[in-house]
A and B are shown apart, each in its own frame.
Chain A
Amino acid sequence: MVDFDVIVVGAGRAGTAAAYKLAEHGIDVALVERAKEAGMKNVTGGVLYGDVLSELVPEFPDQAPLGRHVVEHNVRILNEGTSIGISYRDPAILDEPNYTIQVGRFDQWFVKKAEEKGAVFIPETTVRDVSQRGEEVLVETDRTGGDLTCKAVVGADGVNTTVGRVAGIRETVRNENVGQSVKHVIDLDKSTINERFNLEPGEGAAYAFEGFPEGVPGLGYFLYTFESSIAVGAVASMSSLEKYGKQGYSGRGTPLYDLLDRFKELKAVKPLVEGGSTTEYQGILVPKYKYSNLPQRYDDRISLVGDAAGLTLNKGFTFRGLDFGIKSGMCAAEAAIGSDQNQDWDSFGQRYDKLLNNSYVMTEMKQHRGIPSVVENEKFFDEYPAVAREVLEHTFSTSGDASGLTWRQALRSLRKRDIKLRGVLADGWKAVRSF
């Protein structure tokens, strides 16, 4: 007799979504979490694209601790003193349930909802080993006598997944497949945020910044507004940081937190972030897999969901991951419900993978499979912005140097950098197709 039908490891959004849905369908499920309380180990950037959560918990916008309703998206290419940007506001996005969230608070609420449905929450418990023994899976924990048995396991334990590694499903994460991120949460009063970001009460804005400093491909920054705080962070691929480190100062490289501090001092950024005090500093790794090299994500009775399965997509201006996590958790739950109905738990992993492959998560990962190579193309964050800068300077300047036609200036700027027009068109076409 097993202790539970399903054990979910990790109470982030992906794991909790799985536990919630399983409990709702009357499946015996335990949600094992290593923190003292839900959310204490969890970090995110933060926009929750909430459509998929609405499917699972329709009442979430009225109940969950949310930040602000995202009504504006901004993308800016920066240099020391220059800022080129797009700002997008549209009544069409007002109907979408997209909110900034701080997962420390959000995840506590979400786990309580899963408990109300009947999931058993087991905190302060670190999973050390997972192994299949015939008709059951043994989950070994660091608690005395805390080993648990079940019919199937959902590994929702993040990019550094213990479940994936000890079960031998996933290879270890390599430099090129992971990004490091650091973040400051800065207290600012509500009215300052509303004035500074041109928002009405409750309205929120999301920012993505690229291009600073030149020469670090794939380095980006983000800013999100909350009720009375903002989050400002930096993210870069580990391999990029390692390479940049070799040419950094004192031969020891430039840490990402120093790059974040430098970013916050930029002329185009300082007015947005100044005046508050940092209330929390966080660091996390984020998956940066491509569709073509996504890791293995299941075994007979084990499935990996969310970050543990490498399910994130960086579109340059939006970072998708929270909703992919929730959807993959729902797929794992559906697979377990199917296995329960058919009393066929050995095909749980396969069932899950089929459901995931048919979901919008994999459709989007596949459709946008070209983005990683566009985002990693140094020209997009280095040479092209420099060309754009020169062209715009030419366009808006009234000094004598800026006479002549703009398209001539564009060609001059390209020629100066030895960039062929044909290459620009090819890169542009690739970018358009990927996005």
Chain B
Amino acid sequence: MSVEKDLETVEWDVGEEGHITVDNSECVDCEEKPCLHLCPAQCFDYQEEREGGIYFSYEHCIECGSCMVFCANDPDRGAVSWTKPDGGKGVEYDLG
């Protein structure tokens, strides 16, 4: 079972604006790029040919806050700006 398939079991009511944004000019100097393996919903994507390399899609964010911890709060990183989605928007778990 791959995580892509796992994510098909999850539902969202996607908001119009992203609650998390990435300033990918900051990503140029980030060697480890932990976002690629530490986001449990694979929201971060690496596209070598594009500036900064890192692209983020908030639509399938499961709102765990991992990227706030390993990027936004890390004094050596800081590409991620993190908030919670607007009321009623975002991930909608059934079982929890």
Interface residues of A (CB under 8 A from B): 34-36, 39-44, 102-107, 123-126, 128, 141-143, 159-160, 162, 172-175, 178, 180, 182, 184-185, 229, 238, 241-242, 245-246, 248, 252-258, 261, 278-285
Instruction: Assess whether A253 is in contact with B6, with CB atoms less than 8 Å apart.
Output: no
Instruction: Pull 27 A–B residue pairs with CB atoms less than 8 Å apart, ordered by A.
Output: A34-B85, A35-B92, A36-B92, A43-B96, A104-B96, A105-B95, A142-B87, A143-B87, A159-B65, A160-B68, A162-B83, A173-B65, A175-B74, A178-B69, A238-B69, A238-B70, A241-B38, A248-B37, A253-B36, A256-B38, A257-B40, A278-B6, A278-B9, A280-B10, A283-B62, A285-B64, A285-B66
Which B11-57 residues have a C-beta within 8 angstroms of A?
A: 13, 32-34, 36-42
Chain A residues within an 8 Å CB radius of B2: 261
Chain A residues within an 8 Å CB radius of B94: 40, 104, 280
Min CB–CB distance A188 → chain B (angstroms): 14
**Distance of A126 Cα from B86 Cα, bound (Å):** 6
* With known contacts A41-B91, A174-B69, A238–B38 Cβ distance under 8 A: yes
**Distance of A159 Cα from B69 Cα, bound (Å):** 11
* With known contacts A175-B70, A282-B62, A162–B40 Cβ distance under 8 A: no
- Contact partner, A105, options B7, B69, B92, B96, Cβ 8 Å: B96
- Contact partner, A126, options B1, B69, B85, Cβ 8 Å: B85
9 closest A-B pairs by beta carbon, nearest first, are A104-B96, A253-B37, A124-B88, A281-B6, A283-B40, A160-B65, A103-B96, A124-B87, A172-B73
**Distance of A48 Cα from B88 Cα, bound (Å):** 27
A-B pairs with beta carbons under 8 A, tally: 148
Instruction: Assess whether A173 is in contact with B68, with CB atoms less than 8 Å apart.
Output: yes
On chain B, the number of residues with a Cβ less than 8 Å from chain A's Cβ atoms is: 43
- State the majority secondary structure of interface residues on A: mixed
Interface residues of B (CB under 8 A from A): 1-3, 5-7, 9-10, 13, 32-34, 36-42, 62-66, 68-70, 72-74, 83-88, 90-96
Chain B residues within an 8 Å CB radius of A257: 3, 6, 40
**Distance of A36 Cα from B89 Cα, bound (Å):** 8
Which residue of A is nearest B19, CB measured?
Answer: A126
Min CB–CB distance A111 → chain B (angstroms): 13
Which residue of B is nearest A104, CB measured?
Answer: B96
Instruction: Assess whether B32 is in contact with A246, with CB atoms less than 8 Å apart.
Output: yes
Chain A residues within an 8 Å CB radius of B32: 242, 245-246
Chain A residues within an 8 Å CB radius of B87: 34, 123-126, 141-143
Chain B residues within an 8 Å CB radius of A35: 88, 92
Min CB–CB distance A121 → chain B (angstroms): 13
Instruction: Assess whether A34 is in contact with B88, with CB atoms less than 8 Å apart.
Output: yes
Instruction: Assess whether B88 is in contact with A123, with CB atoms less than 8 Å apart.
Output: yes
Instruction: Assess whether B73 is in contact with A174, with CB atoms less than 8 Å apart.
Output: yes
Min CB–CB distance A161 → chain B (angstroms): 10
Chain A residues within an 8 Å CB radius of B92: 35-36, 40
* With known contacts A34-B87, A245-B34, A41–B70 Cβ distance under 8 A: no
Chain B residues within an 8 Å CB radius of A261: 1-2
**Distance of A11 Cα from B15 Cα, bound (Å):** 21
Min CB–CB distance A307 → chain B (angstroms): 11
Which residue of B is nearest A174, CB measured?
Answer: B73
Instruction: Assess whether B41 is in contact with A283, with CB atoms less than 8 Å apart.
Output: yes
